[in-house]
Amino acid sequence: TKCGNPQHTIETCFQVHGYPEWWKELKARKQARRGKATMVTVESELSLVPQDECPIDTTMPCDEGKNGYVFMSFKQGQPSGWIIDSWASYHMTFDPSDFVQSSQPQRHSVTNANGVASSVTGAGVVAFSPILSLSNTLLVPFLSNKLLLVG
Q: Domain residue spans in the chain?
A: 34-53+68-149
Check residue 56 and give its pLDDT: 47
Check residue 143 and give its pLDDT: 86
Check residue 20 and give its pLDDT: 80
Residue 144 to residues 93, 121, 136, Cα–Cα distance (Å) = 9, 15, 19
Residue 77, by phi and psi: left (phi above 0), alpha (psi -120 to 50) or beta? left
- Residue 121 pLDDT > 90: yes
Do 90 and 137 form a contact (C-beta atoms < 8 A)?
Answer: yes
In this structure, is the dihedral angle defined by the CA atoms of residues 148, 54, 116 and 24, taken in order, positive or negative?
Answer: positive
The strand pair at 146-149 and 99-103 is best described as unpaired
Check residue 119 and give its pLDDT: 94
Burial 44-69 (b: 16+ CB within 10 A, else e): eeeeebebeeeeeeeeeeeeeeeebb
